[in-house]
Chain A
Amino acid sequence: MAMSETAHQAAASNLPLVMRTEIGAIDNVTGYRTFSAGSFSFARDEYFARITWPEGTHTMPVDAFLRAMMRDVAWGFFYGTVNFDDVIGTVNHYGEVTLFAGRYNDAYHNAGRDREERFPSEVLMPLFKAIMSDWTNQGFDPFAAPMETGAPWGSKNGHNESAITRTRVSAKRIVGLPGDTPLRTDANGFPVNRMFPDLDQSTPIVEPEPGFEGEVWAYNLFDYLSRSDVTWNPSVCSVVGESLFCPTTEEFALPIDHGNDRCEWFITLSDEIDWDIKDKETGKPRAKVITRAGDVSCMPADIRHKGYAKKRAMLLVWENGSPIIPELILKGEAPIVSVTW
């Protein structure tokens, strides 16, 4: 595993940078534009996104495609690999990004039907944003759970720009401190989600002595999370150096299979989230992880994970944002599992 990952990284870094992306013409029948990035092309119709490359072609239901691409865009290609499904996805090299088809799918890869092309992030990101803008119809919110939003189907029907251009919240120290990211309230447009009607909305007692108002601080994190208007979208709430608490609310299914390039930890704060774990390189199923309130689990650096929650659940995603970790893991100087005993 470690060997093949190293080989992949070497190959990817030798890939010539592709600069060409193109926004195509409007289709006369569906009303949607086509797009291309290097030798990949993207088209949508009433039900499907269709991705083609010289060695193959792939079809995804367009709701799943838009939900996946929305995360990839919102997270700036995120940590490591964002698999839209078992075939399509991106690998973040932090400044550059690989777009791939079949690369992390045993059957495609072994048959030589896979392809990967590397782009400057600032070249691929505007194309992804243009696809999201053109293919998202009015009434469909790719951040929302399916029961909370309209359908994405049919021919071109308006836009939903405000839904797809939400900015990701990122506290510098802790939510609610003066000058830091604000609390969520009814008044600033964040009502409590329908699935959290019973959470305690109390505020902590905060009694600073004069002069210590900026240091003596606490807020209701559970209330803050219950007011999130997005699903599967971690946002930074507290920061110790590179240690980032990124809680999020989860309902339905994580729209991607996330193959992190480092260990990532989950602490389920409420309800139940079940995870399917597959091998990062091959896609072979490895484990299921059933998590309920209070459960802690580490996602190793050599897997991909996808979560499921029938009731909106609060999840604390814990990341170490240090930029040196992916390289250490690739060189075998950092463990694939954070803790061994």
Chain B
Amino acid sequence: MEYTTRLGSLADYDKGKVIPIDDDPKNYVFSNIFEVASQSAPYERVAVAKNFEYVIEVARAEGSSDWYSATHDEFVLSMDGVVEVQFVKLDDPAAVAPPESQGAVKLAGEPAGRKMGRVVLSRGHQGLLPRGAAYRFIAHAPACLMIQTVEGPETVQKWAEICQNS
């Protein structure tokens, strides 16, 4: 028997659902990352999961993003498409993301520091966004990213729009 793995993509996904027996479907905060990414602006970092201060953000990568930095590690997983991530070691990371700040902080312009290198992620590849570095995404065709991070100024929460409400 030959098996076929069913992955999702921005263009082709098959969303499931909560079927209540005696419950409120909202308790399951049910959404689909491809749907969320499709319906958001490029690089809008939409929370699809949250547990206290920690979040998982979803973004549609399309073109070049702004530069971001955080005081803690973040991780990015491509769920669809190809995305390049460029890194710069910030000369003064605290000037961008204050030491007590959490989550990704958007830089006002270009980062000042040494080039660290780059990674290019295809679907299923997970990369480190190291603390104290600035990073940006570049995607020549729309891609779907999932980011493991902490809630911050760039985190967009629009649960009523993205979740199964009834």
Find chain A residues with CB under 8 A from B3 CB.
Answer: 194-198, 311-312
Contact B19 A290 (CB under 8 A): yes
Contact A296 B32 (CB under 8 A): yes
A26 within 8 A of B: no
Q: Bound complex: CA of A325 vs CA of B52, how far in Å?
A: 9
Q: Bound complex: CA of A339 vs CA of B128, how far in Å?
A: 27
Other-chain residue from B26, B32, B130 in contact with A294 (beta carbon distance below 8 A): B32
Contact A204 B160 (CB under 8 A): no
B23 within 8 A of A: yes
B140 within 8 A of A: no
Q: Mark B133-153, 1 if CB is under 8 A from A, else 0.
A: 100000000000010111000
User: Smallest Cβ distance from A9 to chain B, in angstroms?
Assistant: 20
User: Which residues of chain A from 261 to 318 have any CB-CB distance to chain B below 8 Å in the complex?
Assistant: 262-263, 265, 267-272, 277, 284-300, 311-312, 318
User: Smallest Cβ distance from B17 to chain A, in angstroms?
Assistant: 6
Contact A338 B128 (CB under 8 A): no
Find chain B residues with CB under 8 A from A1 CB.
Answer: none
A-B interface pairs (CB < 8 A), number: 235
A109 within 8 A of B: no
Q: Mark B35-66, 1 if CB is under 8 A from A, else 0.
A: 10000000000001111101010000000000
Contact A286 B23 (CB under 8 A): yes
Other-chain residue from B8, B54, B127 in contact with A293 (beta carbon distance below 8 A): B8
Find chain A residues with CB under 8 A from B127 CB.
Answer: 204, 217-218
Q: Bound complex: CA of A285 vs CA of B22, how far in Å?
A: 7
Contact A293 B26 (CB under 8 A): no
B166 within 8 A of A: no
**Interface residues on chain A, size class:** 35 or more
A52 within 8 A of B: no
Q: Bound complex: CA of A212 vs CA of B32, how far in Å?
A: 35
Q: Bound complex: CA of A245 vs CA of B128, how far in Å?
A: 13
Q: Bound complex: CA of A216 vs CA of B117, how far in Å?
A: 7
Given contacts A200-B124, A205-B120, A207-B119, contact A267 B29 (CB under 8 A): no
Find chain A residues with CB under 8 A from B15 CB.
Answer: 292, 294-295
Contact A295 B28 (CB under 8 A): no
Interface segment out of the listed A34-42, A54-62, A65-73, A233-241: A233-241
Residue on B nearest A336 in the bound complex, by CB: B27
A223 within 8 A of B: yes
Q: Bound complex: CA of A1 vs CA of B14, how far in Å?
A: 35
Contact A220 B117 (CB under 8 A): no
Find chain B residues with CB under 8 A from A177 CB.
Answer: 128
Residue on B nearest A302 in the bound complex, by CB: B27
Other-chain residue from A197, A205, A318 in contact with B2 (beta carbon distance below 8 A): A197
Other-chain residue from A209, A215, A263, A296 in contact with B33 (beta carbon distance below 8 A): A296
Binding site for A on B (CB under 8 A): 2-8, 13-23, 25-35, 48-52, 54, 56, 72-75, 77, 79, 85, 87, 89, 114-128, 130, 133, 146, 148-150, 159-160, 163
